[in-house]
């Protein structure tokens, strides 16, 4: 996916400096609409995936956004551990987590999202995942867009994902 606009990469020494500059306390934050990446890392692949995904159009929500960044940018690992292995230990319902990502404990949420979206990429391909992102425009129900894009409900796909772990 080519970038459609100039990207700006701002490097900081600490998450506190990022918070002072952006209002978000994190090791990295991306504003895809403006092409701005703020990071404590010299090259922050996770945040760069957010930048590229911002060009897909649409927004399926934090679960899918972070899942893509973890599965691709973090290469399927969360804090050095396989997201599939971490997700196997969690019994959380994917549809519930997708609807309220920020309500879940961060380490579990990022691992489950990364594992699930990684499964989507492996089984349906990146082009289909990008098509799903595009389908999630304003006032579009993410569950409906998911079923139309992948040919099955999120519950059915998540059951197959669980079996694959």
23-65 pLDDT, tens digit per residue, is 999 999 999 999 999 999 999 999 999 999 998 889 999 999 9
Q: Tell me, what's the pLDDT at 1? A: 65
Closest CA to 54 of 72, 69, 75: 69
φ, ψ of residue 125 in degrees (nearest 5): 95, 155
Instruction: Give CA–CA dist 17/11, Å, rounded.
Output: 10
Q: Tell me, what's the pLDDT at 149? A: 98
Kindly state the DSSP code that residue 32 receives in the 8-state scheme: T
Tell me: pLDDT of 2 over 80.
no
pLDDT band at 67 (very low <50, low <70, confident <90, very high): very high
- The answer to whether residues 32 and 7 touch, using CB atoms and an 8 Å cutoff, is no
Per-residue pLDDT tens over the stretch 91-128? 999 999 999 999 999 999 999 999 999 999 999 999 99
Closest CA to 98 of 123, 116, 73: 116
- The answer to whether residues 129 and 157 touch, using CB atoms and an 8 Å cutoff, is no
Q: What is the pTM of this model?
A: 0.94
């Amino acid at each position: 996916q080519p970038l459609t606009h100039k990207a700006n990469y701002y490097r900081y020494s600490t998450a506190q400096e990022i918070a002072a500059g952006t209002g978000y306390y994190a090791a990295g934050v991306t504003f895809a609409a403006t092409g701005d990446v703020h990071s404590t890392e010299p090259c922050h692949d996770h945040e760069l995936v957010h930048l590229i995904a911002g060009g897909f159009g649409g927004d399926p929500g934090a679960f899918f956004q972070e899942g893509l960044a973890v599965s691709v940018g973090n290469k399927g690992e969360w804090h050095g551990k396989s997201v599939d292995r971490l997700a196997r230990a969690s019994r959380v319902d994917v549809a519930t987590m997708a609807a309220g990502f920020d309500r879940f404990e961060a380490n579990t949420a990022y691992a489950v999202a990364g594992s699930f979206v990684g499964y989507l990429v492996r089984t349906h391909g990146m082009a289909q995942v990008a098509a799903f992102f595009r389908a999630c425009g304003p006032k579009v129900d993410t569950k409906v867009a998911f079923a139309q894009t992948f040919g099955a409900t999120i519950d059915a796909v998540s059951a197959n994902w669980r079996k694959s772990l």
